[in-house]
């Protein structure tokens, strides 16, 4: 059963509802033709073509397939950036929907098709109907899923070519009622680091362990020891996650292998905790290995930083949310999430806010609570109107003339 459709009494939403069908079709078209990070060729063509048609000055090539659409009006000095992501995931879709992916093994399972459609719908409405004075930059980024497209766009000069006083982004979130908006100031999404621990021991006969240095036993001790970092080193009031997602060693029951490899995912919601985790994981891996007579090599790769929403921009985004959907549909200070998001790089440079829009609570493919990155997930098309109305109202309020 799907949740009943939300009734939103707001004239901006009504205006965007009137053109929603056009952009629901765009959303489904993008969904049907998903593209992996940095390969969003068809999607970025579509985005650029539409923006141009509505009078935006379009710049391509930042971050490879990134697109920026700029609209300047009046002589207002304020500059604003709104961001949508365009990439899909390496997942085989299992929704069975008519607009399901036609590319085997690739799927819009995170709703970036919807984020792109919401921002395009807003772009059309803003160009035709919204009064403002200043500069609006619509940023369509590639490769959010692990490949850091946001960072790449910055390295290619995003904020020097298109300075922004503030940036905003919106992500759908299953499990929250459709169209409800969730905000949070301070840390909202976790940092995400990758660690590979390689243990070098001495292989030997399984019957004669005393003549070997067993990396499996050492690795096992490290797996257990790592849990004590979260339990004993991190402040209990803070958040930390250490997951050993892979432990590879050996092939036969009677052979002690020469090496073992552990792969870790490490998350934190506070940059200081992130530092502490890196220090303790490295120390513990070396010390434990040494105590078992094997050698550890630790490769610590930093992924996305902690996403920290800025106080005054979040407050502004909250007011816009309450004006649009009413206070009863706004969570003013939601929970932080241990997922990560490369919009965090933007927020290290430019103040702003990342918020969530509820994807619904209904069950079954195509709507609601099915979590992102699941083969049964689909973006809730009812949000095309609400999300684009949110962007339109935010532009009107931020760049008011």
Q: Structure tokens of 290? A: 């040494």
Q: What is the DSSP letter of 397?
A: H
Q: Which one, of 384, 388, 389, lies nearest residue 27 by Cα? A: 384
Lookup result for tokens 């549909």: 329
Whether the Cβ atoms of residue 173 and residue 357 lie closer than 8 Å to each other = yes
Whether the Cβ atoms of residue 341 and residue 354 lie closer than 8 Å to each other = yes
Q: How far is the CB of 173 from Zn ion (least distance, A)?
A: 10
Q: How far is the CB of 110 from Zn ion (least distance, A)?
A: 3
Q: How far is the CB of 175 from Zn ion (least distance, A)?
A: 15
What whole-number distance in Å separates Cα of residue 371 and Cα of residue 84? 19
What whole-number distance in Å separates Cα of residue 373 and Cα of residue 367? 14
List of residues contacting Zn ion (CB under 5 A): 110
Q: How far is the CB of 85 from Zn ion (least distance, A)?
A: 6
Q: How far is the CB of 345 from Zn ion (least distance, A)?
A: 15
What whole-number distance in Å separates Cα of residue 1 and Cα of residue 152? 42
Q: Which is nearer to Zn ion, 139 or 281 (CB)?
A: 139
What whole-number distance in Å separates Cα of residue 330 and Cα of residue 183? 8
Q: How far is the CB of 338 from Zn ion (least distance, A)?
A: 13
- Give the three-state DSSP class for 340: coil
């Amino acid at each position: 059963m799907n949740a009943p459709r939300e009734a939103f009494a707001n004239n901006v939403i009504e205006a965007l509802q009137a053109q929603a069908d056009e952009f629901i079709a765009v959303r489904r078209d993008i969904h049907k033709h998903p593209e992996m990070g940095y390969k969003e060729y068809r999607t970025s063509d579509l985005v650029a073509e539409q923006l141009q048609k509505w009078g935006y000055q379009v710049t391509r090539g930042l971050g490879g397939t990134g697109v920026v659409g700029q609209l300047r009006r009046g002589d207002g000095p304020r500059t604003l950036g709104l961001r949508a992501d365009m990439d899909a995931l390496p997942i085989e879709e299992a929704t069975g929907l008519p607009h399901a992916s036609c590319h085997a093994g690739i799927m819009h399972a995170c709703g970036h098709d919807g984020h792109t459609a919401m921002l395009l719908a807003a772009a059309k409405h803003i160009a035709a109907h919204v009064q403002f004075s200043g500069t609006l930059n619509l940023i369509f980024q590639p490769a959010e899923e692990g490949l850091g497209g946001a960072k790449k766009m910055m390295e290619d000069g995003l904020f020097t070519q298109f300075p922004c006083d503030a940036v905003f982004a919106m992500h759908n979130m299953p499990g929250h009622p459709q169209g409800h908006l969730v905000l949070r100031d301070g840390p909202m999404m976790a940092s995400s680091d990758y660690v590979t621990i390689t243990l070098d021991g001495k292989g030997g006969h399984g019957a004669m362990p005393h003549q070997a240095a067993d990396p499996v036993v050492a690795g096992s001790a490290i797996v257990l020891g790592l849990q004590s970092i979260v339990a004993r080193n991190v402040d209990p009031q803070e958040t930390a996650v250490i997951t050993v997602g892979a432990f590879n060693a050996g092939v036969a029951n009677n052979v002690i292998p020469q090496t073992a490899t552990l792969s870790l995912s490490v998350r934190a919601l506070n940059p200081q905790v992130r530092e502490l985790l890196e220090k303790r994981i490295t120390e513990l891996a070396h010390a434990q290995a040494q105590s078992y007579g094997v050698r550890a090599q630790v490769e610590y790769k930093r992924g996305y930083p902690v996403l920290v929403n800025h106080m005054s921009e979040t407050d502004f985004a909250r007011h816009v949310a309450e004006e649009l959907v009413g206070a009863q549909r706004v969570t003013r200070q939601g929970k932080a999430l241990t997922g990560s998001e490369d919009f965090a790089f933007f927020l290290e440079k430019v103040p702003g806010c990342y918020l969530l829009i509820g994807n619904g609570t209904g069950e079954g493919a195509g709507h609601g609570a099915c979590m992102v990155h699941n083969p049964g997930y689909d973006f809730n098309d009812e949000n095309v109107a609400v999300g684009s109305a949110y962007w339109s109202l935010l532009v009107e309020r931020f760049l008011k003339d």
